[in-house]
């Protein structure tokens, strides 16, 4: 397959679904860590019991069962909502079928969440809104026993084979079993794809300041959003184009397709087995006669040689912070799980800005607070995931810039005339207090609060310790200063 032929296949899979997009539908995914309040490993018997009662209560049907017969994924036929466990039974994910209103999603989330919390509380467990499971070191961080998750863990554990590469590998191949994210997918029309990817890519450094909520407490507390590091310094990052940000110009559809030809593929499926192999550039992959891979079966690692097939393109898995999907959506995946009281902030923020992407692009084009200081967007993100700001950034101007971004998001939501702008209020408070969930958590611990107390605060539907959030909607006309 020539590069041009591959680009055509990529176009058909990723670009064609964005043609004739007119409405904006929203897809929200919320991952949440499960915590055993007895300060022990999560009891998987409790988890499996939760699954059974949840499916019975809400009429979800199983769609994924592990090798031991335990359900790890179930779907509601009418709404398209999915109840599942991501990577392990320590991490619960609720995904919502595409919707046109954030209020519909929030209402269903609260219905599910309250039921789950009521059940877990009777077994001294809880969900909470943290990007890193606070009791990760107590848990059994083992993958769900199915082909995909076992393959993924096998792939991540293989980092020791790549020591000759000039990159650092962290020692957490099981990070997917203790990290949780809040992701949103939004419909984007073909003509807007380059601008959306380019503009939101440049927004990532500011999102690090606003949304950071993943700290390895007791290990590296200066890194407020370790999510980036966990992905980038794993085997997913052997080809840096498969993860993180676009460190190049994306101005045309051809730029997007050319970028895609630089990606690597590392897994396929044959005869019911997930096979992983050394990450291989897809142009090279489809022009190689035989690939050597391996899979696990009953605790044994089995090697085999196979021939690439055109259908293998379905197994191209990337983890970009702005990811173009085969559904005709852009998935925004850089944000940690947020405190439950702020669960809708992520989708509201991205949805509002998408409505006003031209305004956002203009603001970032003119910016000299973070940009035009000798750093790329990717380099700025790496600087701003830390607790201390670089000395060339003025804190007052930085938070004024973030407020201007929020005002654009608010205007975008106001354009929809549904009242969804209210979901941005917690983000305005973060700007006024110059904080984010990671800083709040560390401050609470520094002041002597227990980890269990912080877990409870971040699990609450209501904001804990609000200073002026309740007055915010009355004292500020949202979006006025944009």
Q: What is the pLDDT of residues 179-208, one digit of tens each?
A: 999 999 999 999 999 999 999 999 999 999
| Least confident interval from 126-135, 190-199, 459-468 | 459-468
Residues 205 and 225: their CA atoms lie apart, in Å, by: 11
From residue 281, give the alpha-carbon distance in Å to each of 239, 261, 266, 319, 402. 8, 8, 9, 15, 37
CA 200 from chain centre, in angstroms, equals: 14
Residue 99 has pLDDT above 80, yes or no: yes
Angle at Cα 447 formed by Cα 230 and Cα 455, nearest 5°?
Answer: 50
Residues in the chain: 482
Q: What is the pLDDT of residues 294-331, one digit of tens each?
A: 988 877 888 999 999 999 999 999 999 999 999 989 99
Cβ contacts of 198 within 8 Å, gap of 6 or more: 246, 249, 250, 251, 361
Residue 290 has pLDDT above 90, yes or no: yes
pLDDT score, position 197:
97
- Whether the Cβ atoms of residue 216 and residue 132 lie closer than 8 Å to each other: yes
| Residue 66 backbone dihedrals phi, psi, to 5 degrees | -80, 180
pLDDT score, position 466:
46
- Whether the Cβ atoms of residue 143 and residue 298 lie closer than 8 Å to each other: no
pLDDT category at 474 given cuts 50, 70, 90 is: very low
Q: What is the pLDDT of residues 266-276, one digit of tens each?
A: 999 998 899 99
Domain boundaries, the chain: 25-143+179-219+321-475, 264-315
Residues 187 and 346: their CA atoms lie apart, in Å, by: 16
pLDDT category at 468 given cuts 50, 70, 90 is: very low
Residue 463 has pLDDT above 80, yes or no: no
CATH annotation of 25-143+179-219+321-475: 3.30.590.20
> What are the DSSP E strand ranges found in 170-213?
182-187
pLDDT score, position 296:
84
> Alpha-carbon Rg of the chain, whole angstroms?
22
Q: Quick one: which of 53, 77, 52 has its CA closest to 65?
A: 52
Residue 480 has pLDDT above 90, yes or no: no
Residue 475 has pLDDT above 50, yes or no: no
| Least confident interval from 68-82, 155-169, 348-362, 434-448 | 155-169
pLDDT score, position 415:
96
Residue 164 has pLDDT above 90, yes or no: no
Q: What is the pLDDT of residues 210-253, one digit of tens each?
A: 999 999 999 989 999 999 999 999 999 999 999 999 999 899 99
From residue 49, give the alpha-carbon distance in Å to each of 46, 245, 285, 478. 5, 40, 43, 44
Percent of the chain with pLDDT over 70: 95
Q: What is the pLDDT of residues 384-431, one digit of tens each?
A: 999 999 999 999 999 999 999 999 999 999 999 999 999 999 999 999
pTM: 0.94
Q: Which residue has the higher pLDDT, 456 or 168?
A: 456
């Amino acid at each position: 397959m020539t590069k041009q032929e591959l680009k055509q296949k990529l176009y058909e899979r990723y670009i064609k679904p964005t043609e004739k997009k007119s409405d904006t539908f929203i897809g929200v995914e919320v991952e949440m860590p499960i915590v055993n309040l007895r300060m022990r490993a999560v009891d998987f018997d409790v988890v499996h019991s939760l699954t059974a009662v949840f499916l019975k209560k809400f009429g979800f049907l199983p769609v994924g069962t592990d090798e031991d017969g335990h359900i790890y994924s179930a779907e509601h036929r009418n709404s398209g909502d999915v109840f599942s466990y991501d990577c392990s039974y320590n991490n619960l994910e609720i995904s919502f079928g595409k919707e046109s209103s954030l209020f519909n999603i929030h209402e269903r989330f609260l219905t599910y969440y309250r039921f789950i919390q009521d059940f877990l509380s009777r077994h001294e467990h809880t969900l909470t809104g943290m990007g890193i499971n606070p009791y990760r070191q107590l848990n059994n961080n083992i993958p769900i026993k199915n082909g995909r998750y076992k393959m993924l863990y096998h792939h991540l554990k293989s980092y020791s084979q790549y020591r000759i590469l000039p990159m650092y590998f962290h020692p957490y191949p099981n990070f997917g079993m203790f990290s949780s994210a809040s992701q949103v997918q939004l419909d984007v029309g073909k003509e807007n794809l380059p601008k959306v990817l380019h503009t939101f890519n440049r927004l990532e450094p500011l999102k690090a300041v606003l949304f950071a909520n993943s700290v390895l407490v007791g290990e590296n507390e200066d890194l407020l959003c370790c999510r980036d590091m966990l992905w980038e310094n794993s085997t997913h990052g052997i080809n840096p184009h498969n993860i993180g940000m676009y460190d190049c110009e994306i101005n045309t559809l051809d730029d997007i397709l050319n970028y895609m030809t630089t990606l690597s593929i590392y897994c396929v499926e044959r005869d019911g087995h997930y096979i992983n192999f050394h990450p291989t550039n897809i142009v090279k992959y489809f022009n190689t006669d035989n690939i050597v891979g391996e899979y696990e079966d009953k605790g044994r690692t089995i090697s085999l040689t196979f021939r690439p097939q055109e259908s293998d393109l379905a197994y191209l898995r990337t983890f970009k912070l702005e990811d173009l999907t085969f559904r005709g959506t852009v998935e925004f995946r850089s944000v940690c799980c947020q405190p439950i009281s702020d669960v809708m902030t992520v989708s509201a923020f991205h949805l509002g800005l998408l409505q006003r992407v031209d305004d956002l692009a203009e603001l970032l084009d003119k910016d000299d607070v973070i940009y035009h200081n000798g750093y790329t967007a990717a380099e700025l993100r790496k600087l701003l995931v830390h607790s201390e700001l670089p000395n060339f950034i003025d804190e007052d101007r930085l938070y004024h810039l973030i407020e201007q971004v929020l005002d654009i998001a608010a205007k975008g939501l106001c354009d929809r005339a549904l009242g969804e702008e209210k979901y941005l209020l917690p983000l305005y408070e973060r700007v006024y207090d110059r904080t984010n969930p990671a800083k709040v958590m560390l401050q609470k611990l520094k002041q002597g609060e227990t980890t269990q107390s912080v877990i409870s605060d971040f699990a609450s539907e209501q904001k804990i310790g609000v200073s002026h959030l309740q007055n915010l909607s009355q004292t500020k006309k949202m979006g006025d200063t944009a």
